[in-house]
Amino acid sequence: MGEVSPCDLCGGSDFQGLYTSVDRLFNVPGMFAIARCRACGLVSQYPLPSPAKIKSFYPNVYYPDPKPPDIKPSHRLALQLYLGYPGAPAMVPARDRLSAWFRARRILAKHPFLIPYIPGGRILDVGCGAGTFLLMMQSLGWNVAGVEMNAVTAEKLNTKFSANVFGGDFLDAPFETHSFDVIFMSHMLEHVLSPSRILDKARSLLKPGGQIWIAVPNFSSVEAALFRSYWYGLDLPRHIHQFTPGTLRAYLAKAGFKRVRIRWEKSTGGITHSLANLGVRLPRFLEKILIKETLATLLHKLRLSDRMVAGALLETLCLIHAVP
């Protein structure tokens, strides 16, 4: 059983209970509660689980086997021409160059976390999992390193791809201070007991002017409010903390990061998973028409997707780029 601990963000001890949920992904036994700190608004599991307990939340199937990246030549050309990635041909026909420009815009709209190339740059993927992002960046010319709690997965990445992945806790990773241009944390920060300690460590590893990119589910989204304990982004008990743009900004400020920018992934795909948690499974064609096309188009027409600071409507991914 966990213990009632002070808020990791502000140290407060007054919490408002919100609701409970079962594990809807892997059926870990038990009921899991979340509560909001009345002082700063951070939402966390209540009480916090112990480190030993957290390990039991992750079955082996959580970690797929690493696979080599599959980057289409047309996508690679777009990245080379418009994001500075190496290897661009000396001569590119105007038609192909225009096509690559449109493709680059589509790629960035779908994957806003793709980082402009830094010659000789080093990137650290914390919580790299099966290495999808790490191996893609390696194939695009970055010097990569990673951290993955699952030692078996880390070893596979090192043996098969020479990916320089540390198998264990990020706080124990033996990387030199001020040695990375970019640190990338995709859906990792919500899994840890102390985001404060993680961000302090990350800042110590960044070079002056370095960047940290963080992706987390957005607890302030309408989707989260609508589905509550059935919200796909909740993922109890694996998600220890639930973030909003405000609490993420507060965490980054506390760690000394500045010039924070927040962008939202323009996607409605999480609705399908949340409906499935409620036992509602739409036929594939209906899901595509009602959610992926009609709803997404409606949001775009109403420009709701551009008014995210206050409500983060139907968006569940925040990307934060901060420079110390």
State pLDDT tens for residues 147-185. 999 999 999 999 999 999 999 999 999 999 999 999 999
* pLDDT one-digit tens code per residue, 8-24: 999 999 999 999 999 99
Quick one: pLDDT at residue 206? 93
Q: Whole-angstrom Cα distance, residue 308 to residue 310? A: 6
On whether the CB atoms of residues 184 and 126 are closer than 8 A, the answer is: yes
Quick one: pLDDT at residue 161? 94
- For the chain, the C-alpha Rg in angstroms (whole number) is 20
Q: What is the DSSP code (8-state) at residue 218? A: B
* pLDDT one-digit tens code per residue, 31-71: 999 999 999 999 999 999 999 999 999 887 677 788 888 87
Contacting residues for 212 by C-beta, under 8 A, at least 6 apart: 182, 183, 184, 185, 199, 202, 203, 206, 252, 257, 320, 321, 322
Quick one: pLDDT at residue 78? 77
Domains of the chain with bracketed CATH: 15-61 (no CATH), 112-323 (3.40.50.150)
The pLDDT-based confidence of 258 (bands split at 50, 70, 90) is confident
Q: Are strands 32-37 and 43-45 parallel, antiparallel or unpaired?
A: antiparallel
Give the count of beta carbons closer than 10 Å to the beta carbon of residue 150. 17
Quick one: pLDDT at residue 111? 62
More confident residue, 117 or 240: 240
Q: Whole-angstrom Cα distance, residue 112 to residue 119? A: 20
